[in-house]
Amino acid sequence: MARTLLCEIVTPEHILYTNEVEMVVAPALDGELGILPLHAPMVAALKAGEVRVKFGGDQIEWFAISGGYLQVHEDKVIILADDAVASGQIDIERARQASDLAAQRLAELRSAGASGGSAEELDRGEAAMKWAQVQLSVGAHK
């Protein structure tokens, strides 16, 4: 039997996922991180993107996260995500509508220039756009 590690994906509202897995791949700020059993302890900041967990030989589960942190300690990976959803739970049409709405809002803020949207509003709009795009990408893996 192959060595495994415990993976947990947690949001402020609930524990989304807990399982013994063979590998975790997560979107760190500087690129993707691959975590295997016996990995050295670490903490890393995560950006919006897709998390893949491999288990049972060739089975892979996909999750969309909006950012957060990853901690590795003693064959346990904890992903503390601001928001997360499993690929099977993503409503593609709703994510597409959210992406369109975010793109429209960003266009309005940018066209207003200095008199319109603040930097915070632009940041929130870009984050909403990225989150919708990540959900669309991960939702394709159903």
Task: Give the predicted TM-score (pTM) of the model.
Answer: 0.87
Residue with tokens 């990408």: 137
57 or 130: which leads in pLDDT: 130
Which of these, 84, 74, 83, 68, lies nearest to 33 by C-alpha position? 68
CATH class of 5-87: mainly beta
- Whether the predicted pLDDT of 115 surpasses 80: no
72 or 112: which leads in pLDDT: 72
Least-confidence region, from 6-15, 18-27, 126-135: 126-135
Mean pLDDT of 98-122: 77
